[in-house]
Amino acid sequence: MSLYRVVYLLRTIFTWFSRPPGDLTEPLARWREAFLEYVGAKDEWLTTFERLTRAAKPSAQAVVARRFELQRLYDRRSLKRLDYLALHRPTRLDVSQGLPALGTSIESSWSEADSVSLSAVDPEYHQIEKTIADLSAESHDSIREALVQAEASPEYRDALQSLQQRMRAINARIERTVA
């Protein structure tokens, strides 16, 4: 057996035994990468949706911008929460059903105590929460018609279909690599 092979085996054994039982670090890192890729794909879809909505209601540019900023802030908050839960409470994350379940488990397992802890160590998270609260309090009723009009466009349907295909591909790929 070559020296390289011996070193490789020793490193593998050391890594295996140095992890605490049930260590989820590596699989969760892969799921985080997949979730980040999904958020990027969703942002591309949101950009198309925002452009179509702005075209449908040019007089409401500021309201449209705030509504789509809110959607992007939800994604940034989910990423912050995922990082926190992966580090401090990995067993509360459900990756058994793929990306949709991961997104749901991030939100459903989140507590007020988690929010306080994360806000204390991450000022950006605190600012995201504050901005979400402010933007959520605003009414977006004035652009409801424009949203419906944008959703009826073929370009919107194509962008949504592309997002769904990318999500399925990401989900299939990550399930193969983590399983």
Minimal CA–CA distance to 75: which of 49, 50, 106? Answer: 106
Mean pLDDT value of segment 36-41: 91
Q: If you ran DSSP here, which 8-state letter would residue 138 be given?
A: S
Q: Identify the pLDDT of residue 27.
A: 75
Do residues 18 and 133 lie in contact, with contact meaning Cβ atoms separated by under 8 Å?
no
Task: Provide the pLDDT confidence category of residue 3 given band limits of 50, 70 and 90.
Answer: low
**Does the structure show a pLDDT above 70 at 23?**
no
Do residues 130 and 73 lie in contact, with contact meaning Cβ atoms separated by under 8 Å?
no
Q: Identify the pLDDT of residue 14.
A: 45
Q: Identify the pLDDT of residue 13.
A: 45
Task: State pLDDT tens for residues 115-153.
Answer: 999 999 999 999 999 999 999 998 888 899 999 999 999
Q: Identify the pLDDT of residue 86.
A: 86
**Does the structure show a pLDDT above 60 at 72?**
yes
Burial class (CB in 10 A: 0-12, 13-18, 19+), 146: buried
Burial class (CB in 10 A: 0-12, 13-18, 19+), 174: buried
Which of 15-24, 41-50, 93-102 has maximum average pLDDT? 41-50
